Structure 1
Amino acid sequence: MNGLESEGPKLRRAVCPGSYDPVTNGHLDIIARASKLYDVVHVVVMINQSKKGLFTVEERLELLRQVTAEYGNVEVESFHGLLVDFCKERDIPAIVKGLRAVSDFDYELQMAQMNNGLSGVETLFVPTNPTYSFLSSSLVKEVAAWGGDVSHLVPPLVLEALNKRHRED
C-alpha cells in the first residue's frame, strides 16, 4: 500500500468569484451549473476597497448563503487580494466565469490567461442562459433605484433587501 488509498478521491473544486452587489438570477444560474460539475464550489465575494457597494460585504455574504443554501456543495466566503492567491491557499484548480457577450470574452480571456500564467489555475467559461444575457448587478441597482421592477432579475430575498435599502435612502 502506497498511502494514496487512504486519502480517498480528490474533490473537484472550483471558484465562482464576483462582487455580487447584489447577487442576481444570472449569478445563481452560473453557480447552479457549476455545482453540478464540481464537488465543491467556492462562491467568493471579492473585496475591492476602492468601490463603495450598495450592500456591505457581510450583507452580500449573508444573501449569498441564503440563496445558495439549496446547493449542498456551495461554500460562500469573501477575499481581499488576487483571486489566484485565494485559489492557491485552498488548492482550487479552476475558476468558473459566466460570459454574457463577446465583450465579456475579451476581458475575461485576458484575466484567464493572466491567472493561468501566475498560478496555473484554469478558467472555465460558461455561456450565460439567454434569459440573463443582458443582466448585471449594476443594471439591477440602477433600475431598482429608480423604482423599476427587478423582481424577475433577482431572488425574492434579494428583492426584499433592495427594496429595504432604497426605502432607507
Structure 2
Amino acid sequence: MKSIAVYPGSFDPFTNGHLDIIRRAHPLFEEIIIAVAINSKKTSLFSPEERVEMIGKVFHGWDKIKIDTFEGLTVDYCKEKNSRVILRGLRAVTDFDYEYAISLMNKKLAPEIETYFLMADNEYSFVSSTIVKEVARHGRAVSNQVPDVVGEALVKKFSV
C-alpha cells in the first residue's frame, strides 16, 4: 500500500509553519495530501478555492504533493483517499492537548488510521494563521511568517 499522509487544516492562510511541516514530512511519505477543510460554520478570510490556489503556487514543482478540499470528518476523508496517516503539526503544549484529544477520537472512529505529530521548528512555534491575519489586518508586514504568494494575497485582501 502506498504511504499517503493527509495534512488537514483550514490553512486560512497557509503559513511558513505549515510549509515547514510539509518540508520535513515530504521525505517520509510517497504522497502528502494537503486537505483544505471546508467548514461552513467558520468565517474564513479566503475562500477554499483561494486557499487551494495559493497552496498550489507554494508547492508548484514539488513531487508527491497534492492539494484538495474536504468537508466532514478527517478520518472519512482519509479512508476515501486510502490514507492511513493524519499529519499534524504542534507548536506548543496547548496544541498538544487539543490535538491529542482529536487523535483519540479519530482512533475510536478509525483504528487503522494513525496520527503523526511533528513539532514545529522553533522559528515557527509562535506563528498561527489567526495571528498572521490580525497583524496583516492592521497593515503590518507578515512576510517572515507566510510564503510570498500568501503575503501578496493578504496585502490585497486588506488594502481594499
- TM-score range for the pair, normalised by the shorter chain length: over 0.9
Cα drift, residue 91 of structure 1:
1.2
1:164 aligns with 2:156: yes
Structure-2 separation of matches of 1:131 and 1:162: 21
Match of 1:26 among 17, 22, 27: 17
1:141 aligns with 2:133: yes
Q: Percent identity?
A: 47
Q: Which residue type is aligned with residue 89 of structure 1?
A: E
Cα drift, residue 69 of structure 1:
1.8
The CA RMSD over aligned residues, in Å, is: 0.8
Match of 1:128 among 108, 120, 128: 120
2:146 corresponds in structure 1 to: 154
Q: Which residue type is aligned with residue 161 of structure 1?
A: A
Q: Which residue type is aligned with residue 152 of structure 2?
A: E
Q: Which residue type is aligned with residue 25 of structure 1?
A: N
The aligned length equals 159
Aligned runs of 1:1-169 on 2, under 5 Å? Answer: 10-120=1-111, 121-168=113-160
Structure-1 separation of matches of 2:74 and 2:19: 20
Provide the TM-score with structure 1 as the length reference. Answer: 0.92
SS at 2:142 equivalent = coil
Cα drift, residue 70 of structure 1:
3.5
Task: List structure 1 runs of 4+ shifted beyond 6 angstroms.
Answer: none
Structure 1 runs not aligned, ≥5 long = 1-9
Provide the TM-score with structure 2 as the length reference. Answer: 0.97
SS at 2:159 equivalent = helix
